[in-house]
Amino acid sequence: MVDRHLKSREINDPAVLLAMGSVPREKFISADLAGSAYDDNPLAIGYGQTISQPYIVALMIQKLNLKNTDRALEIGTGSGYQAAVLSKLAHHVYTTEIIDQLANESSERLERLGYKNVTVIHTDGSLGLERSAPFDKIIASAAARKPPKALENQLAEGGLIIMPQGGSHFQSLILGEKTGGVIDYKTMISVRFVPMTGAAEEL
């Protein structure tokens, strides 16, 4: 997967490649999909949600330039795969999931697999996690029409946020950096993510 889908598409950060190669994606999907675990495709994980394709996970994480001192916030735990990759690079990962069953399942899975620096919280991720803010890096795995203010407010000075922005038919990946309390966003590529629910639906 690393050579075929990542290195060939400009994923070149050695730490990101190592992290992607060390997390067993098949452990984060159902057994009947195990044969497709290392294909570069999103896969269904139940509850109307998906696990993102490996290239997009790697691209988003590479753009965050994570350091081992960073406190990272993930919006949309899903099955826990991306949180597991993040945990290899950040000091601690706080990950939010709005679907109760997914939050419980991913928390148990991550604990069972030994990812000790990940905290899964069942909550509306579009509201962030104020009690643990600020965060050095924020990554969202669901699309909102515009970045939720709560996430922007909880991003540390000098921090980075990456997320898909748009509606159900057209989305772009955006990367923002906070400088002087203001976040400057740059548009990257077209993407397709599940919509962010909760308070984000009112944006």
User: So which residues are the catalytic ones?
Assistant: 52
Based on the number of CB atoms within 10 Å of its own CB, is 168 exposed (0-12), middle (13-18) or buried (19 or more)? exposed
Rounded to whole angstroms, the Cα distance separating 134 from 7 reads 33
| Residue written as token pair 């002087």 | 180
Based on the number of CB atoms within 10 Å of its own CB, is 74 exposed (0-12), middle (13-18) or buried (19 or more)? buried
At 139 the three-state DSSP class reads: strand
Is the distance from CB of 185 to CB of 175 less than 8 angstroms? yes
